[in-house]
Amino acid sequence: MTADDSYGRLDDDDYPAYTMGRAAEMLGTTQGFLRAIGEARLITPLRSEGGHRRYSRYQLRIAARARELVDQGTPIEAACRIIILEDQLEEAQRINAEYRRATGSSGPAPAD
């Protein structure tokens, strides 16, 4: 990838543009916090050729949500689980909405 290709990818939410140090600075947290949410499998940073963690803007938004919960007193493991469940719920709601549009249904089927 050339330098010109890299600049074009900066608009990509999934492009791993931020080093661990820069990501921690942007979030106002520690590198240890980023390692902890990685160990909890909330986010999996990509690795540079030198093995350094690199984070995307999407991953930073998830990390910021985890930080909010932790700052409110939620243990880090619970915060990660909450975020994973929120994401799963959002995906299920999206799938249900698509199904309703495809079938012309406006709500759940009546129970027998």
Q: How confident is the model at residue 1 (pLDDT cuts 50, 70, 90)?
A: very low
**49-94: pLDDT as tens digits:** 899 999 999 999 999 999 999 999 999 999 999 999 999 999 999 9
47 CA to centre of own chain = 16
Global pTM value: 0.76
Among 94, 71, 50, CA closest to 63: 71
Check if the beta carbon of residue 36 is closer than 8 Å to that of residue 42: no
- Could you give the CA distance from residue 9 to residue 88 in angstroms, rounded to a whole number? 27
**33-53: pLDDT as tens digits:** 999 999 999 999 999 889 999
DSSP 15-26: S--EEHHHHHHH
